[in-house]
Amino acid sequence: MKKIIKWMWKIIDVLITSILAVMVVLVFTNVVLRYGFSSGIRSSVELSRLGLVWIVLLGAAVVLRRGEHLAVTEFSERFFPSAVPILNRLIWLVILISSSMLFIGALNQTLANWHNISPLTGLPSALFALAGVISGLLIGLISLVRIFNPSWLLEQEDDE
C-alpha cells in the first residue's frame, strides 16, 4: 500500500512539473511570435490558464501532504501544549469539511459544463472544475487519514 501511495504522489509531482514546463514553452513561444512576427498561438492563453489552475490545486494537495502549508502554531503550542493534539484533529476536521465542499461544488460544475466546448482549444470547459474535484478528493483523503493518525503521511515521507 505504501508503494502505491508513493508512486501516486510521484506521478502527481511529475504531472505538475510537466504542466509547468508546457506552460513556460507556450507562453515564451507566444511572446516571441507576437513581438517578433506579429502572430501568436491563439489557444496558448487558455491552455496556460488551465495549466495554472491544475498546478495550484494539485500543488495544494501536495504541500498539505508534506505538511508545508503556512501554520501559526506558536500561540497554541505555548499556552495550550496539552490541547495541541485535540486542536490539530479539529483543524483536520475543518479541512475535511472544506475539502468536501470543494469536491461537491467542483463535481457539480464539472458535470454541468462537460459539454461546453471551448472554441479556441476544443477542450471541455469542465477541465477547470475537474482540477477542483481531484484536489478536493486528495485533500479530503489526507485530512481523513490525519484525523485518526496525524503523522501517518509524514512517516511515509521519512521512509523515502
Q: What is the pTM of this model?
A: 0.84
If you compute the radius of gyration of the chain from its CA atoms, what whole number of angstroms results? 19
pLDDT given at position 156: 55
Which residues does residue 124 pair with via DSSP β-bridges, in sequence order? 117
Q: Other C-beta atoms within 10 Å of 65: how many?
A: 22
Average pLDDT of the residues in 139-153: 85
Give me the phi and psi of 141, to 5 degrees please.
-65, -40
Separation of CA 33 from chain center: 31
pLDDT digits (tens, 9 = 90+) for 9-63: 999 999 999 999 999 999 999 999 888 888 888 888 899 999 999 999 999 999 9
